[in-house]
Structure formats: structure tokens, C-alpha cells
Amino acid sequence: MPGGIFDGGFEPKIPGFVSKKSYMFITIIIAVVMVLLIINPFVTIGAGERGIVLNFGAVQPIVLNEGLHVLIPIVQKVVKMDVQVHKAQTNADASSKDLQEVTSVIAINFHILPDKANDIYQSIGTSYKERIIDPAVQEIVKAVTARYTAEELITKRPIVSTEMKTGLVERLIKHHIVVDEFSIMNFSFSKLFMEAIESKQTAEQLALKASRDLDRIKIEAEQKITQAKAEAEALRLQKENISPDLIKLRRIEATIKAIDKWNGILPKVTSQNMPFIDTKDLEH
């Protein structure tokens, strides 16, 4: 049958040829995707992270920043390191200048230098708090505490804190670790020392109260003396101003007051308390 589909002509071969080629193309794409999924040559470095590139386990000078990066499959591997600010708390035991036992609680905020993350990983690893920070805090606290008495550690706490921070900054920067904040959370001493401090404070408070009471008594005594002197001076001035005329004037004033109070009726019964009016005083 001319022009039929089974005559072996050219037209029936075209669809078959195209389908075979498409199938091979799809197969290749699937194979490539599977290979990519298996070898996974991509790595994403998140915010606050840096990537340490390892070639067959050897640390490379390059440090990967945040973002998507392509690796050489099988050859390269990436270790992520956190470069954000972290808090570390360390307990440190030491002795003061006067040989008192002191236990300190130190808290710091720190971060590693991002561009030195590969050096830190190569020389220290990821356990830098346990291997570097804690021992450094212990040593600095012991060195600074030994320069002060136990009482000075309390009264000069800001100075002590500054010295400790300065020493710790200098020590940790050698390992590419930056100290952002430093705080002495607590100083604790032996029970006997705390009782001695409490007794001393109580004695000082009692002494201060006694001193204030003594000052108050002195002031009150001085006030009384001043008042007595003023009254004595007033009496002296009054005595100096007394004269016969003044005495006569006072008598006249007293007589006038008695007359003003008298209602004009003589009492039926007299007594010693009856006022006597001397009319001679009214004559002038």
C-alpha cells in the first residue's frame, strides 16, 4: 500500500527517531541531577558564620563569607564557624594579698576575628572556650587578686575589674579572640571573713551613731549656755535700768490696773488678800 504506514517509508521513522533522542536527553538530565545531589558541590554560609575550606583535610588560607559557594567535589570540604558575640561564664578561685580565699564569678562577651577563623580552627579548633578562655580567666583573676587585700577587692571593685579586663584582652587577642565586655558577677569570701566584715561595719555604725549623739549633746549644751547668758544679760540690763522713778511708775501702773478691776463695792469680810490701794501713789 503506497503511502501506508507499514511500507517502510521515511515518514514513520521521524516520530521514532525524535522520541528516542528526547528519551536520551531526559535520561542525561536526570543522571546529572542525581550526580549533583550525590556529590553536592554547593555550600551556604549563614549570617554570623564563616566557612573554613579543607582540601583533603588540610586547612586553606581562604575563609568563605556569608552566601552560596561552589566546592570541588570529593576534594574540598567546608567547616562552619560561628563569629557572633557569645557569653562565657567562668568560676575562678584565688587568694588575696592578705591570704584570704576568694571565689570569683567572671562573665565575658567575646567573638572570634572573622578573617582569622581558619587560623583558630587550625590551632585551637572549635573548643576555644574550654581550651583558651577559661584558663586565661583563671590566670588573670589569680594575678590581679593577689595584688589586693580582701577588703580592697570590695571597696576598689571597679579598679580591679578594669585591671582584669585589660589583662584578659591582651592575652586572648593573641589567639584572635576579642573581649567585648567584662564583668565581675560576684566576689565571695570565707565565712569567718564575712563575719569579721559584718562586725566591723556594725562597730563603725555604732561609733558613728555615738559621735553624732555626742555632737547633738554638745550643740544642745551650747544652746542652753547661750540662752542662759542671754537671760543673765537681760537681767543685768534690767538691774542697771532700775531707778526710783521706774519703781514708782511700776507701782502706779499696778494701782491703775487694780482700780480698773474694782467694781466699787467694798467686801463685807476683809482678808489679807484684799488689794490695798495707796492713793498717795496717784498724787503727783
Distance (Å, rounded) from C-alpha 243 to C-alpha 155?
A: 72
Chain centroid offset of residue 46 CA: 32
93 and 137 in a common domain: yes
- In this predicted structure, what is the pLDDT of residue 138? 94
206 and 163 in a common domain: no
- In this predicted structure, what is the pLDDT of residue 14? 47
Residues paired with residue 200 on neighbouring β-strands, in sequence order:
none
Which residues, other chains included, contact 157 with Cβ-Cβ below 8 Å and sequence gap of 6+? Answer: 184, 187
129 and 220 in a common domain: no
92 and 176 in a common domain: yes
98 and 154 in a common domain: yes
175 and 94 in a common domain: yes
- In this predicted structure, what is the pLDDT of residue 112? 95
**Rounded average pLDDT over 40-64:** 91
Distance (Å, rounded) from C-alpha 125 to C-alpha 229?
A: 88
- Domain extent, residue 67, equals 13-82
Residue 110: inside a domain = yes
Q: What's the sign of the alpha-carbon dihedral 30, 35, 41, 43?
A: positive
pLDDT band for position 37 (50/70/90)? low
Q: Which of 195, 202, 187, 226 has its CA nearest to residue 95?
A: 187
Crossing angle, helix 134-145 and helix 157-172, to 10 degrees?
Answer: 140
CB 65 within 8 A of CB 49: no
CB 101 within 8 A of CB 93: yes
Range from 55-69, 190-204, 234-248 that averages highest in pLDDT: 55-69
Q: Which of 171, 179, 167 has its CA nearest to residue 110?
A: 179
**Rounded average pLDDT over 180-208:** 78
Residue type, 157: R
90 and 175 in a common domain: yes
Residue 1: inside a domain = no
- In this predicted structure, what is the pLDDT of residue 1? 45
Residue 7: inside a domain = no
Residue 136: count of CB within 10 angstroms of its CB: 21
With residue 161 as reference, give the H or E element that holds it.
Answer: helix 157-172
- In this predicted structure, what is the pLDDT of residue 105? 94
The pTM of this model reads: 0.58
**Rounded average pLDDT over 4-31:** 60
Tell me the per-residue pLDDT of 91-137, one tens digit each, with 9 for 90 and over.
999 999 988 889 999 999 999 999 999 999 999 998 999 999 999 99
164 and 119 in a common domain: yes
41 and 110 in a common domain: no
Residue 2: inside a domain = no
233 and 166 in a common domain: no
- Please count the structural domains in the chain: 4
Residue 3: inside a domain = no
pLDDT band for position 38 (50/70/90)? low
CB 46 within 8 A of CB 84: no
Q: Which percentage of the chain shows pLDDT scores above 90? A: 42
